[in-house]
Amino acid sequence: MPVALEDVSFFYKSNDGSDIPALRDVSLTINDGEFVGIMGRTGCGKTTLIQLMAGLMAPASGKVMLDERDINEKSYERSELRKALSFLFQFPDYQLFESTVEKDVAFALKHSALEQDEINERVKWALETMGFPFEAIRSQSPLSLSGGEKRRVAIAGALVTKPRFLIFDEPITGLDPRCCKSFLQTVSRLNSEGTTIIMVSHNSDALGEYAKRLLVFDNGRIALDGDVKDIFSDIERLKELHLNAGTPRTIADMLIRRGFNIPHTATSYAELLHSLKSQLTGGISQ
């Protein structure tokens, strides 16, 4: 079942007490199994949007719905929201606080009704899903790990509840290229296995390669909503919104202007290189 916003608006208070609009009458639906990227300039409402989805704030007007129920109704059981959805802040590794990795990942299940054996299995599964050898990592202090490893442990802590929706706020900021690729491949695999991914990012290259649907926000409203390849094909429209379509798509556009037959839908390096190789070899396999 989907997560949906119905005519949602949200305002922050300025120093003089006046309302500053962050979101204006936003309506959208995200269905199970989607990989949705969200982009836009700083201050356009992206983070506010996902915090409202996660129930961290309530809208000034409108409804946030999960499985056709308003998550902000007094009768709504918040534990149901926590089971269905996990939210990771921009620097999730700052959320690590337990003495060992195993305890940190298990913390999300502290108030669950699961037996201890099931909790242990869940923790092992979550850490191994994030590429850790369980026995080698379980007793280590999370604070002793590298930045990329801390990020992966934090994500394991979100996965351990086996949520249907994973929401990320700028998850690859500060990661080196190797860790960034590893993280995105893991998230993509989780999506292929059925987890819905909602990811705010300024990294157009990452969204172009991994997201399937793209929401572009501008001044608190949805400016564009559609297939990521279709949106990135309109470079001029993105420029009007002070955004770019990522390096692969930009290079593809330059080559197209010089007579190369490169698809406008090439939004990843792999697609760009495949098309360029086909052009240069006349379609002959090497």
SS (H, E, C) 135-161: HHHCCCCHHHCCHHHHHHHHHHHHHCC
For the residues 107-117, what does the mean pLDDT come to?
Answer: 86
pLDDT at 262: 85
Q: How far apart are CA 20 and CA 1, in angstroms?
A: 33
126 with 77, same domain?
yes
For the residues 126-140, what does the mean pLDDT come to?
Answer: 91
56 with 186, same domain?
yes
pLDDT at 92: 64
Residue 164: is its pLDDT beyond 50? yes
213 with 270, same domain?
no
13 with 70, same domain?
yes
Could you identify the residue written with the tokens 């991914």?
A: 197
Q: What is the pLDDT of residues 55-104, one digit of tens each?
A: 999 999 999 999 999 999 999 988 888 889 989 887 766 677 888 999 99
60 with 113, same domain?
yes
- CATH at residue 56: 3.40.50.300
pLDDT at 199: 96
For residue 62, the Cα-to-chain-centroid distance in whole angstroms is 23
For the residues 120-130, what does the mean pLDDT come to?
Answer: 91
Q: How far apart are CA 83 and CA 116, in angstroms?
A: 18
Which tokens go with 252?
A: 């593809």
Which tokens go with 280?
A: 């240069």
pLDDT at 286: 47
For the residues 47-52, what does the mean pLDDT come to?
Answer: 95
Task: Tell me which residue range forms the domain holding 256.
Answer: 246-286
154 with 275, same domain?
no
The 10 Å Cβ neighbour count of residue 153 is 25
How sure is the predictor about 283, in pLDDT bands with cuts at 50, 70 and 90? low
pLDDT at 276: 83
Residue 200: is its pLDDT beyond 60? yes
Q: How far apart are CA 257 and CA 254, in angstroms?
A: 5
Beta bridge partner(s), residue 127: none
For the residues 142-153, what does the mean pLDDT come to?
Answer: 84
Q: How many domains does the chain have?
A: 2
Helix axes 269-281, 247-257, angle to 10 degrees: 30
Residue 212: phi and psi, rounded to 5, are -105, -35
Three-state DSSP at 198 gives strand
What residues have CB less than 8 Å from 120, skipping those under 6 apart? Answer: 106
88 with 177, same domain?
yes
What residues have CB less than 8 Å from 235, skipping those under 6 apart? Answer: 244, 245, 249, 250, 253
137 with 264, same domain?
no
Q: How far apart are CA 136 and CA 145, in angstroms?
A: 12
Residue 142: is its pLDDT beyond 50? yes
Three-state DSSP at 106 gives helix
Q: What angle do CA 197, 153, 228 make, to 5 degrees?
A: 20
82 with 224, same domain?
yes
SS3 breakdown of the chain: % helix, strand, coil, rounded to 5? 40, 20, 35
163 with 29, same domain?
yes
Cβ atoms 148, 177 nearer than 8 A: no
Question: What's the whole-number average pLDDT of the chain?
Answer: 89
Which tokens go with 285?
A: 């396999």
Q: How far apart are CA 121 and CA 87, in angstroms?
A: 22
Q: How far apart are CA 26 and CA 4, in angstroms?
A: 10
